[in-house]
Structures are given as structure tokens and as C-alpha cells.
A and B are shown apart, each in its own frame.
Chain A
Amino acid sequence: MSDVAARPAPNLLAKGWVKSGLIFIAVVAAAILGAQFDDSGTLYKVFIDPFQQMVQAPDLLAQTIWEGLVSGVLYALIALGFVLIFKASGVFNFAQGIMVVFAALTLVGLYEKGVPAFLAVILTLGVMFVLAVTIERVVLRPLVNQPDIILFMATFGITYFLIGFGEALFGGSPKQMIADQLWLPKGAIDLKLFGGLVSLQKIDIAAAVIASIMIAALAAFFQYTRIGRALRAVADSHKAALSVGISLNQIWVIVWFTAGIVALITGIMWGARSDVSFALEIVALKALPVLILGGFTSIPGAIVGGLIIGIGEKMGEFYWGPLIGGGIESWLAYFIALGFLLFRPQGLFGDKIIERI
């Protein structure tokens, strides 16, 4: 498909009537556009008014960008779980969203049973480890070497199972995340900025900091430890990794457990901002455009993609949303990602797709 651009285009402009026709169309279009840039015209509302608002109220712009940044960090965290598993096992793990919910619910549920908060965190990690081992044993191992779409479907099965299991254990009603007990800060800092007030929630700052620490830790883990090197080897080639004696099964457990840890942290952060409920599962779908934007195989891609999507979505909703009835947050992210994909089909940072016959 890529050679289309390389073909010499027939020089249509050589013909006089084509040229004059084009000039005519351009003049008419310019006239119509000029009329539209009037204060009430559509184009004015789309192309000029939002930017005027941005310049006139920079504090609002800063607030919007900050909110976009924060939701971007959370999208990036969910996307990170996807990327970890996709890199190491080639499975497009649809269950990451429900794993976030499940981890958060387990944590809150344990705390409600009277377990001290930090012990509950450790126990939840244990639960996530058991989950990882179970998934590897029951789902992945029998399905090894199946086509991608079958594994993808299997993660759907996991999703359904976890939804039913979680609701049966903890009930379907939304729960309060135990933010105070985990020493997460509360309240907001009001910054005086550009002649206005920009309010930053402390929990958001904490989320950004914790996310950065976690990503740095993951990067170090991948780069400098023995297991990390094995993980990268598996990501490069299953067969080659097997042939040098890396145990795929063990790597898969580790990778799903790592994704479980990421899920728990995401669940705590997201739960602290709103409630812990199964609605989070829908939010997790927001991580998908982040993934295609950043590339399925790239950890930096997940982060940059998350930030682009978060900021783009919030700004689009705030400045352009009212023009077409609002609520565009639900699909804007996908269109932003699609726009990028049309130019880079493998995502911003994804491995170049090489196809051979």
C-alpha cells in the first residue's frame, strides 16, 4: 500500500481548463470561508473561538491541561498492563480492565473484613499472584501456539469469569477506596496562575508521582535484572528464548503478576479519585486508543500515548464539545488515535511492521 505515493501522478495541472477550474473553486471556497469566519459562522466557532478562549483565560487552559494530564497518567497505567502482557506473551489481554477492578475490590473487601490496610495490600498482591498462576495454568498453557484471536477471546472468558466472581464475592455496589489508610493525601492545592486559580488535587499529584516511580522501577527491572532480560528475550522471540533455556511458563506467570501489580496500583489511584465499582471496566476501554496510539509493544509509547489522549480528550471536550452537543469524550480518544494511525500504522513507538510472503 505504501508505494501509492511513489507512483508519478499524472500532471493534471498542465491542462488549462483544470487549472482555471481549480482557481475558480479556490476563489469560491475562500469566499464561503470568509463569510464563515464571521462571529456567528461555524468555522469561526471551530477554528477561532476556542483559541481565543484559551488565550483569554489561560488559567482555565492550565486547569484543563492538568486534568487531561492526570487522566492521561491513569490511562497510561492501564495501557502499561496491556503492553507488559502483549510484549511478553503476544496476548492482547482484554482482562486488564477487570483485573484493575478486581484488585481494587479485593483490597477494599479485605479491609472491610478487618484486615489492616497495608497487610491488605500485601494480601491483595498475593491474590494477584494466585490469579496469575491460575491464568497461566488454566488458560495460557493449554492454548499455547493458538492464533492470536483465540487467546484474545480467552481473555474475554477471563473477564466474564472475574466479573461474576468479583460480584459474587464483593457485591456489585460501589465501594469507597481506603485512601486515608494508605496515607494518600487528600484535598487540593490552589495555585495562583495567570491571574486565576488553578486547583490541583493532591491525590492527582500523588498519582503522577507514584506512576513515574513505578514506570522507572519497571524500566530498571527490565533493564538490569536477570528476569527482566529474560522477559525481553521472550518479547523478541518465543522460540529463540525457549532454545536458550528460558522457561516460558515461568515468564508468563511473572509477567501476569507484574500486570497484576500494575492493576492494583491503578485500581488504588483510580479508586481514590472516584468509587471502586465495575464501571471502571468501561473506563479501561479508554486505554485501548492509548495502546494503538503508542504501539502495542512500547512502554514509553503507552505513557506518551496516555498523555496525548488524556490532554486531547479533555481539551476537545472542554473547547469543542459544546458545539456538537457534548459528551464527546466517549469517542474522541479513538478518533485522535485513528488520526495518528493513518500516518503510522504501527503506532508512534511500535515496532515497524515488516511483512514477508
Chain B
Amino acid sequence: MFYREAGQFKSTYSADMAVFPLRQDRIGIAVILALAFIGVPLIGNDFFISSVMIPFLVFSLAAIGLNILTGYTGLISLGTAAFMGVGAYAAYKLTTAFPGINIIVLVLVSGLFSAAIGVLFGLPSLRIKGFYLAVATLAAQFFLQWAFVRVPWLFNYNASGAIEVPQRTLFGFPITGASASPETRYFVCLVLVVGLTWFASNLVHGKLGRSWMAVRDMDIAAELMGIKLLNAKLTAFAVSSFYAGVAGAMMIFFWYGGGEAADVFNIRLSFNILFMVIIGGLGSLIGSFFGAAFIASLPTILKFGLPALGVPLSGAAAEHVTFMLVGALIITFLIVEPHGLARLWQIGKQKLRTWPFPY
């Protein structure tokens, strides 16, 4: 009824190829952005912002990174957490070496380090594919995780072996460290995520994205059509690790605060991000956000929601039930909609377009 393209005429090619061709979609995006920039800081309390929204943003970015690799290029990676760790440690090394440079610039630059490492570990993808590649990327996961603990240069020879996030400011406001307020950290994360999502959207709709998708659908055919597999696969690894690295740096600098850096980038995090991508929808940017929201907030919701519903659960039992529920929900989701939440979103939009008629 109200969500329909009738009357919206496209007079240029670029209007026809727009990412959001419908006016209603553009309005929707504007509303969501306004909510994120104005609504959330106004309504949400500190707990909500720092333990729901910031993790959501960080995971969304990491999921976008993995989605570029797995969803768009068809290369399964189980080493995302390690690449996130590279970003975090690179950002730490950079900001201790160059304290004068703005931390946001350094967070972005640390993504480049992660990209370089990603290309290195992406090299086997030229020879092997499928699950063989997935297991091969575990090499990156375990090797880098080992390096984070065993190479003292990475944490500046601290006796504790942990990295500390120093206080850095932007326009006079502290944005990292203990004195930064959740709202400022949230704003920084939000700006980074929105900017990088816009960038990713342009990438996947452009020539590079097309070549990735061609490789995903069938790499031999893509090669025959003149797409250089070397370039396509390695750029996918580079871009994906860049996003993962930035997400990792954000995770440590704007969310955790460094103490747990050595343990947090473990294999379970890699799996969780893969879940987000699959549950959200392979090859869909908005799916990455859905997946991140689902997986990142599920434990929190279960932890605080079940007692609120009157299900009395102690700490340990709640954890077990959470595990079981997450497992069961994953299976249910895969059975009900193997193409992920993004597909449900599409179906919903299509239904809305034709409503009140069935088709």
C-alpha cells in the first residue's frame, strides 16, 4: 500500500542502478541512521550502549569482513578472530609508537596490517578450496593466537603480557581508555561502521565485487572469462582482513580495553562470526547486521530475559541453557531459512510491496 514503487520514474541509468531504488527504502535508511545517531544515545542508558550497541557494531563490522570473503567470494575462513587480533595489536603498537597521531587514523591503518597478514594466509586459497581451505585458515588462527602470547614485542614487553589501552582524545573528548564515556565510544564506532559499510557496499556493487561473485559461483568459469583468480581471491582476503582488523582494533580500543586481548581472539570468536554471516545471510551486507544483532545479543537477552519471564536460573545453569538454546536456534534457523535472515527480510519486503494482495 504505502511501500510501492508506483509513480517513481527513473530517468537516468545511475538512478536505475542505485543501491536503494525505492524512495521508501531511502527514507527507511535515513530513519535507521537517525535512530542510531540520535535516538540510541538519547534513550539508551550506559549499560545498553556499552554492552549491547557497541558489541553489535563491532561484530557487524567483523561479519561484513567475513561476508566479503565467505559470502561474496565463496572462500570459507575460520581465522577471522586472528585477523581481528592482528588489527588490535597493530593499533596498540602504532599508538604507542606514534602517540601524536589520531587514534581513528591509526585504527584504520592497523586494518592495513591485518590486510597484509590476510593476504599472506590467503595464498593457499589459490591451490586449495572448500573445507580444505577452511581448515588451512585455522593455521592462521592458531599461529597468530600463539604469537599474541609468545612474542613479547607485540605487547611492548609488558610483564603482564597484556596490552593497555592508553587514553586518546578527539576534539578534546577522551574516546579511549577508562575515562571515555560510552556515548563517545559509541559515536566513534558508529561513524566508523557506517563509513566502512558504505565503502563495502560500493566495493561489492562495483567491478571488484562482480569478480568476487563470479569466482564464488564457479572459479574455473570465472578464470575462463578473464577474471584473474589471483587478484580476485587475494583482494577478497585483503579487504576481508582489513575489515576484521579494524573491527578487532575497535573491539579492544572502544569496548574491552585491552586486558583480555590475549584470550579474546580465540577460535570460538571466529566461529561466532561465521555464525553471524550464515545466520544473517551469505552475500548480503544487511544480513551481516542481522546476524551480528542475533548472535551478539542472544546470550544477553537470554541472560536477562529469562529471569524477567519468571524462569529462575542460576549462573551456571543459565549458561548451559544458553548454550543449548543457541545450538537449537541455529539448527532451527538453518532448517527454516537456509538463506538467512536477509532472505526473510527480502521476503517481508516483497510481501509488503504486494500487500494487501497475495502477489
Contact = CB atoms under 8 A, between A and B. Distances in A.
A292 interface: yes
A109 to B, nearest CB: 15
Interface string B312-354: 0000110111111111111100110010000000000000000
B324 A168 contact: yes
Interface string A268-299: 00000000000000100100110110001000
B190 interface: no
Contact of B331 (A148, A157, A337): A157
Contact of A149 (B76, B142, B320, B328): B76
B355 interface: no
A30 to B, nearest CB: 28
A143 B337 CA distance: 10
B323 A163 contact: yes
A158 B327 contact: yes
B327 A164 contact: yes
A327 B146 contact: yes
Contact of A334 (B143, B282, B320): B143
Contacts of A342: 124, 127
Given A156-B271, A159-B327, 6 more contacts: A148-B130, A150-B334, A153-B274, A154-B331, A165-B320, A342-B127
A320 B298 CA distance: 44
- Interface SS of B by simple majority: helix
A345 B132 contact: yes
Contact of A160 (B129, B323, B338): B323
Contacts of B136: 292, 334, 337-338, 341
Contacts of A156: 271, 274-275, 327, 330
A114 interface: no
A71 B8 CA distance: 68
Interface string A120-152: 000000000000000000110011001111101
Interface residues on A, range: 35 or more
B328 A161 contact: yes
A330 B145 contact: yes
Interface in B274-295: 274-275, 278, 282
A330 B138 CA distance: 10
B26 to A, nearest CB: 33
Interface in B22-47: none
Contacts of A159: 327
A326 B149 CA distance: 11
Given A168-B320, A168-B324, A157 B139 contact: no
Given A331-B143, A334-B138, A341-B124, A296 B338 contact: no
Given A146-B338, A157-B327, A347 B321 contact: no
A66 interface: no
Given A152-B131, A291-B135, A357-B221, A165 B324 contact: yes
Interface in A62-118: 92
B103 to A, nearest CB: 30
A337 B135 contact: yes
Nearest to B139: A334
Would you list the 9 A-B pairs with minimal beta carbon distance, nearest first? A164-B323, A161-B327, A160-B327, A334-B139, A164-B324, A157-B330, A331-B142, A168-B320, A157-B331
Nearest to A356: B220
Nearest to B123: A342
B330 A335 contact: no
B224 to A, nearest CB: 7
A142 B333 CA distance: 11
Given A146-B338, A156-B275, A357-B218, A288 B135 contact: yes
B146 A153 contact: no
B132 A292 contact: yes
Contacts of B143: 331, 334-335
Contacts of B321: 164, 168
A330 B146 contact: yes
A162 interface: yes
Given A1-B126, A157-B330, A289-B135, A150 B220 contact: no
B224 A357 contact: yes
A79 to B, nearest CB: 11
Nearest to B224: A357
Contacts of B334: 143, 146, 150, 153-154, 157
A8 to B, nearest CB: 20
B338 A150 contact: yes
A187 interface: no
A13 B124 CA distance: 29
B128 interface: yes
Given A157-B330, A161-B331, A338-B124, A285 B267 contact: yes
B283 to A, nearest CB: 12
B150 interface: yes
24 contacts: A1-B127, A143-B335, A149-B70, A153-B330, A156-B275, A157-B327, A157-B330, A157-B334, A161-B323, A161-B328, A164-B322, A164-B326, A164-B327, A285-B138, A285-B267, A296-B132, A331-B139, A335-B143, A337-B135, A337-B136, A341-B127, A345-B129, A346-B132, A357-B224
